Chains A and B, each alone.
Chain A
Amino acid sequence: MLRRRLNRLLGGDERRVDSRTIYVGHRSSSPGEPIIKFCDNRIVSSKYTVWNFLPKNLFEQFRRIANFYFLIIFLVQVIVDTPTSPVTSGLPLFFVITVTAIKQGYEDWLRHKADNEVNKYPVTVLEQGERTRKDSEKIKVGDVVEVEEDETFPCDLILLQSSRDDGTCYVTTASLDGESNHKTHYTVSDTEKDLETLNATIECEQPQPDLYKFVGRMHIYKNDQEPVVRSLGPENLLLKGATLKNTQRIYGVALYTGMETKMALNYQGKSQKRSAVEKSINAFLLVYLCILVSKALVCTILKYVWQSRPGQDEPWYNEKTQRDKETNLYLKMFTDFLSFMVLFNFIIPVSMYVTVEMQKFLGSFFITWDKDFFDPEIKEGALVNTSDLNEELGQVEYVFTDKTGTLTQNNMEFIECCIDGFQYKYRDASSELDGFCVADGPVNKVQEKAGRAKEELFLRALCLCHTVQVKEPTEQGPVDGLMDQVDAGVPHPPQEQRGFIASSPDEVALVKGAMRYGFTFLGLESRNMKILNRNNDVEMYELLHVLTFDPVRRRMSVIVRSNSGDTLLFCKGADSSIFPRVRQEEVERIRMHVERNATEGYRTLCVAYKYLSAEEFAQADAGLMEARLALQNREEKLLAVYNQVETDMSLIGATAVEDRLQEEAAETMEALQGAGIKVWVLTGDKMETAKSTCYACRLFQRSTELLELTVRTLEDGGRKREERLHELLLEYHKKAVQDAPPLKGGITRTWSSETQDYGFIIDGATLSMVLNSSSESNSSRYKSLFLQICQNCTSVLCCRMAPLQKAQIVKMVKNSKGNPITLSIGDGANDVSMILEAHVGIGIKGKEGRQAVRNSDYAIPKLKHLKKLLLAHGHLYYVRIAHLVQYFFYKNLCFILPQFLYQFFCGYSQQPLYDAAYLTMYNICFTSMPILAYSLLEQHICIEVLLDNAALYREIAKNGMLRWRPFLYWTLLGVFHGLLFFFGVRYLFSNPALQDNGQVFGNWSYGTIVFTILVFTVTLKLALDTRHWTWINHFVIWGSLLFYVFFSFFWGGIIWPFLKQQRLYFVFANMLSSVSAWLVIILLILLSLLPEILLVVFRKPRGPNSRQPVESNAGGHQSPRSTAQPLLMKTFSDESNTVI
């Protein structure tokens, strides 16, 4: 929406240019140049204004097909002479439209308020050397803006001057991406002198939404000198929405304003996900629409057939009006058809939409409210971002889970390291923190193995090669907002004086690890890194370059200059990316340790270094500078330089960091599998690590036969990869699909011990071979083979996945045969793509920022909450909404069917059976509350049982309650009831003298008796279905019936001046004075419900078991092995680093 609007704004010549030029402080170097107008700094997130609210909102509402349908019905009623007054359909429609408009209007008012708050925020702008205050919305591109500490930036700024000496400022982007760590941004060098005289232009790219990408160039003109060119990168750009921290004041030049800021560009409505239930509703609607049209058609045809018989068209007692006689026959037929449509239109009730929406909206509160989802650690509960998908949680067939932070805690602890081939195990981590400083004791022996020089080099490397910041001590008065933003994973802050802030927990773990061995990182001061070494001396290293981490290289480096003048490069990264870049003889000594650590479940990193000679450094420096200045392809150029610099290093050692399994990860996974859900682990991690996680989570059992399709197995045969892939795919397919016993109905299969379980492992490289095979025909064949294998495996592990590949896999499964419902769960930015792709996206409120949470449909604090979310909440929501939908169709079918049947007895004249008040109120008042209460409170099986007995989840799998069979059942029930109501009363009325005074009843009595039976039957039918009677259920069910009785008395007890015809005057009271009417009401209600009761009783033998906790093979046995023995690992993979 905003994007489209923006594109329109951008239209014209600006769009063709791919960069923009900004004159800092509006001082143009060449006055003749035309000044390009940029958009102002107003943020508009609201949809409406006071003037366009009504038309625009109405237009949007009537774009919904249901509303449009009701509008048409209403218009037909207004225009054509129809049996019911327009009020009967106009009133509910008006109600729905008004309520929606009020809700949307209120939301928009809130947005207006928020917009205003932002737009009217006073900011200080430097104009002609003077500080002036103006509203934030008045900022123009090129203005120099002053921002003080703890203020948020009013637009995207280029940092020109900071109050800190080192030309840096600190910023948190918590409101943008949820990362609460402080990020350092740098001023552009040469600008910090005097802003008033600064004459510079900035050339930069057009606005784009990526928060972490920015390229630009600044030309600084000094008197009579060649202009100086400085490169600008994301580190110079202060984003609107971020907050200035730890810095008193900065000045910056406005670069992107208003709707062109990166924050505004990132603000976009998420794509609407539609649930399977909604698709079912639409299908049922279609059926009912067909029923409606065919009813109207049948009636119209029969009417004209009947009228063609002599004497029936116009009996003398019922002469037609002049107008009727003159109307064209076909026009009459058409209006008759429309009249019948109007008469029967209640079969598709407007209230169903309202009730479904309300149920979803209110129902989602139960997730937010659930205290089981409250995590005392982060002090937050579950979050519902969309309530549209509640019931989808009960339908999940595939769960795609991320590993790090999801299956594992992402709470890193330094376990051991290996220096030069010797293992250093740090024991007793918690008690003796400083005990390692002096090399003595038994540990000392181990330590001695590698020689002191190597050790210290290794530890210095750990201390220097990172991007960790030290949390500043709180000495400068009350600096709030700082304390609480320390790395949340610090388990025992009191002992560790120092707080470290880093985007990746691995880095903190490593720095802390080094600290235990005596090397403490003190912080970065004006590009000097300070280290406290074992002898308590402070060592200073000048930080020359940081070769930042990226998921492709899987490593990062720093170039530092020591006091002695040596230039060193330290590099750390995944083994696979380090080993080829170091001398091979060193590798062999370390590889063993790395592999052993990996299989034990640790995340391993290798550390290497290299001395840079003066020339080498000069070359690298120049290369880096040049690449950083580049406006185009900056990333590629940087990458090339990085790769060139990071060669010929010497390997010094490796580290092992432990990442614990999430609490109850194994139980959760087991429960999911017991529920018939297939769990796929999609991770960027390497295979060994991921595999051991899978074993620890019991996704793979000891008995599971693993089918491996990775680069390693492909290279085994020594043949071409493609051939081998083909061969393996066929072999696995034979094993898992063809030889497997035929499954009964997909997931209804039990994972009993007799059937062989298969686990499937594939890695990213192989996956892309499968998906993008060289020949087109192979590609689709491989894909289907791959899918079939995967679908027959209990669990699938996909490792070494790029984020996009994760989404690809989800998409592939989502679109496979049967369109299974998929769920993705993850915590990091790299999971966002798959969270958005899956039917249901779940974010874990983990440590890797908040991007996953923001993009998810539901967010939970821990993985273990998934079990209750799916097995209890999802199951209940599905049962509730499915019943709600079926019940709604049923109750309207048996509402309208008697009216249809009545047409056969009234000469097809569209005579309504019920009074207009009953027609209108039936869905709004008499029968709406009980089903709403049911759909919010029903627990057909109590929550504990659902949790204990995961297999129950399978009973509702594959949209079990909304398939055609149950729909047919409900429809037949509706037809049965409708027939019963109508003909039961019809036979009673074969003698309309029903009172003991011999007086007779008329047609409105007839309708009222039918209606009374109807209201009682459908309400009692719901009461029969209710398994969980809270006081609310009692209140609304009995209350509705009472209300009906009182309303009928009231409605019939008064001559209503606004009614043209007092049809129901005392009809209800007279009805109750007739014993026969009472008897027929009781008889028909009971007769309608008897089959239902019988069915419940005969179905019973299965019933009670499911309500009691039963030990089942799925979730019953809980072996003690799980959280205690976790040790899962991960290398320095893409997953750990969210600063992309």
Chain B
Amino acid sequence: MAKQAPDFANRPDNTAFTQQRLPAWQPMLSAGIVIPGFVLIGLAFIGIGVALLVTSQSIQVFEMDYTGVGNNHPCFHCSDPKPKPCVCKLNFTIDFFLKGPVFFYYGLSNYFQNYRKYSVSKDDDQLSGNLKNFESPSDTCSPYQRDNNKPIVPCGSIANSMFNDTFKLYQNVNATMKPVNFDGKGIAWWTDYNIKYRNPDTTPLRNAFNNTVKPIFWPVPAYELDPKDPANNGFINQNFLVWMRTAALPDFRKLYARINDPPYAEGLPAGSYMLEIQYNYPVLAFGGTKKVVFSNVSWMGGKNDFLGIAYLVIGTLCVLMSIVMLIVYAKFKFPEED
């Protein structure tokens, strides 16, 4: 009856939503789902774990500390911060064929690149080639903002403390030192040296740095970082970029170079080598150490057993738990199915 309509003007809408009757899926985690689920997850995890562990084990690593602690360490004479420059030569033997491509890392310990004041001490605008920030670097760079009233470019603690040891590797072949070429390209993120960090458009590059000074601890200005390759200078020098990406933890390693020039592209053959280190970077003052690492990588990155072990443990646990559950439910005769 049409007349009835106004009577129910106040009646609440009878929709599924207002009546809290929306169709709903009500998942129940029953044993029938969970036990097979656990078994599946467990098996998958064990599989992944095995793959990870095997991969990780297959990665070859050769590590050397060269801080120079101890009288008989070849770098001992350099660990004293006074005389500079100092070169130390590290002879070592690799007993196995280090399969290529080989990556060469340097590592520092007890070095807090993630210290808050340190990690903000840079000027991203300057580093993206903004000439205005060449004249007046950001305040965050303090205390490496200006030197004698001249702006420091690149400013800030991070740039100032850039790792400046240099390495040369020689293979000792029948007492002759055969140099192994380091390739310093491709060690930084592609986006860093193509987009995020930019040199000013000025040519030559050094003109942009007029009226600025180099960071206090640097031996050379930014536009002369790589004397061999002019394209690898300024803010897009790859070693600089690697350094500027601050490490997450106080013990870290950073990529220095790749060895991919023939004949070493296939790997470093077993044999004796000599690493010539230009030892500039003091670490003993803050109780740190330095090391170099030769390593090859796999699809999962560098060698790290943690993931593989963790996957294996969790996978095993899952399978065990499903067995326990099976026993429990067998005893209780699957009460939910009654």
Contact = CB atoms under 8 A, between A and B. Distances in A.
A474 interface: no
A1083 B310 contact: yes
Interface stretch (A192-200, A1041-1049, A1074-1082): A1074-1082
A992 B252 contact: yes
A906 B114 contact: yes
Contact of A992 (B30, B112, B248): B248
A702 to B, nearest CB: 36
B307 interface: yes
B115 interface: yes
A1000 B191 contact: no
A1075 B116 contact: no
B249 A986 contact: yes
A939 interface: yes
Interface string A987-1006: 11111111111111111011
A1107 to B, nearest CB: 8
Given A991-B302, A1096-B29, A1079 B249 contact: no
Contact of B191 (A905, A1060, A1065): A1065
Interface residues of B, number: 98
B97 to A, nearest CB: 18
B12 A368 contact: yes
Interface stretch (A547-555, A744-752, A796-804, A1027-1035): A1027-1035
A1094 B335 CA distance: 17
Interface centre among A999, A1028, A1070, A1093 (most CB of B within 10 A): A999
A999 B248 contact: no
A67 to B, nearest CB: 28
A1062 B314 contact: no
A76 interface: no
Interface in A1060-1116: 1060-1062, 1065-1066, 1070, 1074-1076, 1079-1080, 1083, 1086-1087, 1090, 1093-1094, 1096-1098, 1100-1101, 1103-1104, 1107
Contacts of B11: 371, 374, 379, 381
Given A911-B116, A1002-B246, A1097-B34, A1083 B311 contact: yes
A1092 to B, nearest CB: 10
Interface string A186-221: 000000000000000000000000000000000000
A316 B284 CA distance: 11
Contacts of A1032: 22
A1080 B114 contact: no
Contacts of B298: 996
B327 to A, nearest CB: 12
B266 to A, nearest CB: 16
B181 interface: no
A885 B250 CA distance: 37
Contact of B103 (A366, A998, A1055, A1079): A998
Given A991-B302, A1028-B26, A1000 B254 contact: yes
B297 interface: yes
B116 A1086 contact: no
Contacts of A1076: 300-301, 304, 307
Contacts of B52: 1079
Interface in A968-1014: 984, 986-1003, 1005-1007
Given A321-B143, A371-B19, A1005 B248 contact: yes
A49 interface: no
Given A998-B255, A1000-B252, A1029 B25 contact: yes
A1070 B195 CA distance: 14
Nearest to B114: A906
A330 interface: no
A1103 B23 CA distance: 21
B79 interface: no
A647 interface: no
Contacts of A51: none
B328 interface: yes
A1125 to B, nearest CB: 31
Contacts of A1061: 120, 122, 124
A411 B213 CA distance: 97
Given A942-B26, A1079-B307, A1104-B30, 14 more contacts: A311-B287, A374-B12, A906-B114, A937-B22, A989-B249, A997-B186, A998-B297, A998-B302, A999-B255, A1000-B247, A1003-B248, A1030-B22, A1061-B122, A1075-B301
Interface of A: 83, 310-312, 315-322, 324, 365-366, 368-371, 373-374, 376, 379-381, 905-907, 909-912, 937, 939, 942-943, 984, 986-1003, 1005-1007, 1027-1033, 1055, 1059-1062, 1065-1066, 1070, 1074-1076, 1079-1080, 1083, 1086-1087, 1090, 1093-1094, 1096-1098, 1100-1101, 1103-1104, 1107
24 contacts: A316-B285, A318-B112, A318-B118, A371-B14, A379-B9, A379-B10, A906-B112, A907-B115, A910-B116, A911-B115, A987-B310, A990-B304, A994-B301, A994-B302, A996-B299, A998-B302, A1006-B248, A1029-B24, A1031-B22, A1031-B23, A1033-B24, A1083-B307, A1086-B314, A1087-B314
